[in-house]
Amino acid sequence: MSGTSLPWLAIILWIANVIVDSAGQLAFKAAAINDADASGLARWTRMAQHPWLWLGISCYVFEFVLWLAFLSLVPLSQGVLMGSINIVAIMLAGRWIFKERLTRLRVIGILLVSLGVAIVGLPA
């Protein structure tokens, strides 16, 4: 694959992976904050019954399949680095959905990770 750009299927799988991974993380967060008033075993029992938890687990199972398919098309070193964009997507989604704070250092981190993923994704 050296010297060529990513195949379209790899790009589609990569985007789908980012979306599904982000959805899974957001679902886990929603399940965790939904039962924040309970503690101990009661909290875990209530979380286990919550649809958000099961959505998150389902997303992770689907993401596993997408990730394997993606890695079958790209070199591991490139795929893992491109997968780092998930961090950016999750941080931005956390800010948008859960109103989480993005500090100046986190914004710089987002920019650096994004730049790194863009460099790695460029054709060699």
Residues 6+ apart with CB under 8 A from 115: none
- Average per-residue pLDDT for the chain: 89
Residue 37 resides in a domain: yes
Angle between helices 76-83 and 51-71 (to 10 degrees): 150
Q: Give me the pLDDT at residue 1, please.
A: 45
Residue 3 resides in a domain: no
Residue 85 resides in a domain: yes
Of residues 123 and 95, more confidence is placed in 95
CB-based burial of residue 75 (10 Å sphere; 0-12 exposed, 13-18 middle, 19+ buried)?
exposed
Q: For residue 92, which of 78, 84, 104, 102 has the smallest C-alpha distance?
A: 102
How many structural domains compose the chain? 1
Residue 17 resides in a domain: yes
CB-based burial of residue 11 (10 Å sphere; 0-12 exposed, 13-18 middle, 19+ buried)?
middle
Cα dist. 112→20, 29, 37, 53, 80 in Å?
A: 23, 25, 37, 31, 16
Residue 20 resides in a domain: yes
For residue 2, pLDDT beyond 50: no
pLDDT (tens digit, 9 = 90+) per residue, 73-83? 999 988 888 88
pLDDT (tens digit, 9 = 90+) per residue, 41-93? 888 888 888 899 999 999 999 999 999 999 999 999 888 888 888 999 999 99
Residue 79 resides in a domain: yes
Calculate mean pLDDT across residues 106-116.
91
Residue 1 resides in a domain: no
Q: Give me the pLDDT at residue 105, please.
A: 95
Query: Residue 115's domain spans which residues?
Result: 8-121
Residue 75 resides in a domain: yes
